[in-house]
Each structure stands twice: as structure tokens, then as C-alpha cells.
Structure 1
Amino acid sequence: MIHFAIVGCGHIAAKHIDAIERTEGARLIALCDPDPAKLAAWSGAGSVSLYADFTTLLVQEPQVDAVCICAPSGLHVPLALEAIRAGKHVVLEKPVTLDLAEAKLLRQALDQSGLKATVVHPNRYRPAIRELKAALEQQRFGKLSHINVTVRWNRSDEYYNQAAWRGTREMDGGVLLNQAIHGLDLLQWLFGPVEEVKSLVATRLKPIEAEDVAIAALRLESGALGVIEAATTVYGHNLEETISVFGEDGYAVIGGKTANWIKHWVCASMSQEETEALTRKVEADPFGIPGHQCIIADFVQAIEDGRDPEITLEDGIRAVKLALDMTGGSSDELAGSLG
């Protein structure tokens, strides 16, 4: 049995709690948040202990094996380092960090400890994305010419006003590190490393320090070109999250308000009947098993088997680095040290 604690009891913590409860071999035993109101919401959570101070939790709950870091983004690495020093494995919500220098410290601490870390990029487990990954591994679309990642969403002033840290550079980051970070992870997981980035970012409409709109042109190491568009400035509501790929033998577009549906799938090696069957399969269960549950289940198994988790710390750092490359927040020296 792997015993979990969660630090940070905002809305995302509920997904971690549900994932732990649904995972065989996992048990939640402690929650931590300095906000009494957030802790009070879980006061009836059975045998789960509640703490206002993380250091106190680590001292008084020695049986904790792993900690889910669900605090504001700027606190992810300090809290993870404290957990690692206490001998705990860590599950980090996205983004891993807002600062690549912190990421280097985290990697060093993890390497020295022999403990494990995973990063929450649940979109990898969406059925449509899994089908796209399999098709790419089979080279169904042939040599790729270009790809596109688009996040056209709305975040209202009320959203940013929920907490003072939202939209700040120090604690939250902008549209790239917050909303589009999953797309940046998927881009590199699906299509490989990025070799060159040229970008423009701006804060146009939202009352935040960081960017609310960003665009970039990419060259992948494979030679394929790419485009990223990310915004929280779309009027009224979320419009779309889309991943598109175009190759010599076909193309695919995974989209909708969230990238859960096959919008287009044309492949020279697949008949129309095969393509329609694939589309029906995804439409029958477009969300699949919740990604947080998949990540927690894999992490528990990785600890028990002594292997790396499916989503590694390096994966999380890679997505952050691409976001910071687009905003000018990544240095050549750090980029080299992080690989």
C-alpha cells in the first residue's frame, strides 16, 4: 500500500483525491493547506488527517510514501524539495516549475535521493490522443510536413480575481505555462523534440502580469514545421483545443472544446470502413479513464516495480522549457544543462 498526502487543497486536489481513492494499492492519509476554509471542506473525510503546515505533516505522518503537490505553481519545487528531503516520492501538478534553475535543483535532488517523481499531464491518456500516438508510431501518416497545436480558450476577469496569485509571473505564469502547457507536452510527446522556436507573446485583454496570448513557429528535430497558438482571450467561452498533423500519407485533426474528438482522419493505409470504425470507437468513450487516475495508478506501480513512471520529471521540464523559450524566459546555459 502506497500512502499519499496532498499539499494544496484547491479545486485540482479533488481530482487527486478521486484518483487515489480509485487506485488499488493507494491510500490517502493526509491533506495540507494553510487556508482553514479549504481544509474545512475536507473535515469529514474519514481517517484523513488535516494539517495547516507542510513541515508538521511530514514530521507527524512518517508513514506517508508519496506527496501530491497541488499548490500554486510557484510553490511546486520548494514543496517538492522539502518532500524529497523527507524521503517522499512526489507527484507534481503542472507546470513543474516556472523557473528552469529550480528545475535543475529538483532533478539533482531527485537523482541523489533515488526517489521517484511524475508530472500531471493527463491529456496523454485521452482515447483520441492515444490513437494518434499509435498511428504516429506506426508511421501511418508518412513523413510529416507540419503540425499545429491550438488552445483558444476564455478565462474571465472573475477567474483571475479568485486568488491574488493567479496570472502573476512569480506564482502562476500565463497562458503558456498554465492553460497551454498540456498542449506543449503533447506536441513533444507525439512529434519529438523542438529544435528552433520563433514566437510573439502579449498581454492584450486580461488583468494579469503574464501573457494572455501567444503564437510561435517551430522547427522540430525531425525537420517538420509547427505552429502554436494559445490564448485565454476568446470572447465568452472556450472555443477549441486542437492538435493537427499533416504528412505525405494522410492527416489527422483531434479537436473540440477539448482535444477529445477525431474531427478529421485521412490515412492512405486505412480504408474508409477502418477510419469510420476508429472514429466510432473514440466517440463511444471520448474521455476514457480520467488522466489523473491513470497517472496515480502508474505511479503506484512504478514505485512497486522500481521503474520510471510513464510521465517523467524530464517530460515535465521539457514542456516548461518550450513555454519559456516562447516567452524569452529560458537561457542557453540552462537549456544545455537540462538537455
Structure 2
Amino acid sequence: MNFAIVGCGFIAKKHANAIKEVKNAKLVAVSDKISAAMNFYEREYNANPYTDLSEMLEKEDIDVVCICTPSGHHASLAVHVAEAEKHIILEKPIAMTLEETDRIIEAAEKNKVKLSVVHPNRYRPVVQEVRKILDKNLLGKISHVNATVNWNRNQDYYDQAPWRGTKQYDGGVLMNQAIHNLDLLLWFMGKPEQIFSMEATRLRNIEAEDVSTGLIKFRSGALGTVESATTVYQKNFEESITIFGEKGTVKIGGTNALHFEHVEIEGVPEAELEEIKEKIEEDPWGTPGHQWIVEDMVNAINEDRLPAVTGKDGRKAVELVLSFYESAKQNRPIQLTKEKEYANN
């Protein structure tokens, strides 16, 4: 499979390395409006550079395009790539609005291309173990959950590029940093029914929020709290998800939610749980999530199936973030509408 990358900023290097590590995948071209940004990919991967996306799509034999631009540009680029009938791996968030998100998904369906959104934390070893626990219903009825992202992004981080921290192209802590944690929360707990949120811009000189707190009521009846911030002094402090059930409690945590900080399950011997924890500690990151996503796309194309993380999954995370924003703006609870259905993606 021949891959191309659009947008040669920081995250593009993760995509390039993932493509390199996947059998039967090759990076053949890159596109960026700034020529110098593509030099690394020319040198390291022998990728052909293009400052014009249309030219690249026309001249190169490409199967999959990885879109790694600022979030506010995702919709126009993804629709363009879909109309060129190329499969798409799209960095998070899928888009900045639900209207843009739906345009992307509908363009992928219309042109019969596969669409995958980059939520790589699903592939971390500890996250996979939590999913197994929930799939087996080992915790029983869930009472409530906590999701936390308390990180540091100092002013220098936001000043690196003019789009960072803007509502149009980037979003705040919820849309940019916490969205991976929110994706996991939705993957574990299912559809939210009602949310309430408060947010503020306390310490960073940006347009969007740098701290947010929220409450969720899930369709199951379980309750959830969400705490997110980029204001923590002086470095990343915590990313965690805690699930409280009638038959057990599970907490994954650390600075990047890589470890079991607590796991206690009725009927499961402590020695068995310790063995699982120790196995995770041997390699907590596991195979990089971007590599899993690239490999899954190759397999999805060969097997003619949906990717593991679809456009619809990406939409769920964005819908939750936007509902938090709307609740904070109106200072009232928000009832989530019936989930939009798609034939594919």
C-alpha cells in the first residue's frame, strides 16, 4: 500500500515512522505548503514532495492519505482526498464542528473510501486489559467513572504557531489534549445522555479554554466526572480513568494512563491481577498506536471491512467536546440528541 502524508508538522513524523514499521506499507509522497517542512521526508523516506495537494493526488499512485494538518483544516482536505478516491487516516479530532465531521463521513461513504480517525490510546496494553474486563462484565453494574487529564502546556507551547489555542483551528484542552481520554471514556461506557460543564481560560493567553470540569450521565444510568487542564505547574501530572462497579474498581493512571494504579475484582485472585499488572509494566507503551492504526487500515482495505476506529467513533468524541462547550456557554445541562446513523464509517 502506498501512503502519503498531508501536513508535515510534529505529528507527521509519527505517521511516517508507523508506515515504515508496517509490512506492505510505504510512504511515497508528502504535501505541505512550506517546502522546507518536507525536506526531512525526502531525505529519510525518499518521499516525493508537493506543495500542491491536487498535483500529488493526480501524479502519485496513492492508496492511503494521512492528514496531519491543524484540526481546522481537516474537513476541506479530507473531502478533497475522498473525492480523489483515496482512503483516509485522519488525525484527531476528526473536525472542529459536527457539520464538518458529517461532510467528511458523507464524502468517504459517497466515494467508497475507508476513513479511520487517530485515537491511538485504545491500543495501549492497559487500555486493552480494561476493555477485556468490561467485555466480560467483571465489574458488574457500573456506578460511576472519573476521567482526568491534568497536564502542562506552557505559553511557549501555544506561541509556537498562531493557530494553537484558537477556537477555529485548534480548540482548548478538551478538543486538543483531553479528546483521547474522552474517546476512551466513550469506548468504555457507551453513549452519554446528558452533560453539564464549566470552563475557563485561567493561565494561558489563548482564545480557547485551558481548564474544564464536567459531569456526564450515560444512557446506562452511570454518572461520570471529567476534569481537564493544561495549567498544571510545571509538567504533566496525571491522566487517568477510574471505573467503579458493583463487583470491582479499576483505575488506570500515571502521567499518560499507562498503568493499573488500582484493580480489584470480585472472584478474581489477587495473584492473577498482579500477573496482568506486571506484564503491562514490562512494556507499558506497547506497539505505538499510530502503527496499529496504519496496520489496521492496510488490513481493512485487504479484507474490505471498516477500520477499527471509524469516522463515527471520531464524531462521538467531537460531539461530547462540543456539548461540553455548549453547556459551559449556556450554563445549563445539555441533552444529547439521538445519535446520527451512517451506512458505513
**TM (normalized to structure 1)?**
0.96
SS at match of 2:176: coil
Return the offset for 1:36.
2.4
What corresponds to 1:3 in structure 2? 2
Q: Which moved more, 1:164-173 or 1:325-334?
A: 325-334
What corresponds to 2:128 in structure 1? 130
What corresponds to 2:340 in structure 1? 338
Report if the CA contact (8 A) 1:167-1:208 is conserved. yes
What corresponds to 2:183 in structure 1? 185
What corresponds to 1:272 in structure 2? 270
CA distance in 1, matches of 2:210, 2:258: 23
SS at match of 1:148: strand
What corresponds to 1:241 in structure 2? 239
Report if the CA contact (8 A) 1:100-1:334 is conserved. no
What corresponds to 1:53 in structure 2? 52
Return the offset for 1:304.
0.7
Report if the CA contact (8 A) 2:143-2:222 is conserved. yes
Report if the CA contact (8 A) 2:27-2:45 is conserved. no
SS at match of 1:114: coil
What corresponds to 1:20 in structure 2? 19
What corresponds to 1:149 in structure 2? 147
- Percent sequence identity is 45
Superposed, 1:156-235 pairs within 5 Å as: 156-235=154-233
SS at match of 2:280: helix
Residue 56 and residue 321 in structure 1: after superposition, are their counterparts in 2 closer, same or farther (change >3 A)?
Answer: same
Return the offset for 1:25.
1.5
SS at match of 2:175: coil
CA distance in 1, matches of 2:39, 2:119: 28
Report if the CA contact (8 A) 2:71-2:95 is conserved. yes
Return the offset for 1:235.
1.0
1:148-205: CA deviation from partner (whole Å, max 9, x where unpaired) = 1100000011100110000001110111110000011101111111111011111111
Q: How many corresponding residue pairs?
A: 337
2:103 is equivalent to residue 101 of structure 1 = no
2:64 is equivalent to residue 66 of structure 1 = yes
Residue 139 and residue 46 in structure 1: after superposition, are their counterparts in 2 closer, same or farther (change >3 A)?
Answer: closer
Q: Which moved more, 1:38-47 or 1:303-312?
A: 38-47
What corresponds to 2:296 in structure 1? 298
Structure 1: tracts of 5 or more residues without a match: none
Report if the CA contact (8 A) 1:321-1:335 is conserved. no
CA distance in 2, matches of 1:67, 1:41: 18
Return the offset for 1:208.
0.8
CA distance in 1, matches of 2:272, 2:40: 48
Structure 2: tracts of 5 or more residues without a match: none
Residue 280 and residue 337 in structure 1: after superposition, are their counterparts in 2 closer, same or farther (change >3 A)?
Answer: closer
Q: CA RMSD in A?
A: 1.7
What corresponds to 1:328 in structure 2? 326
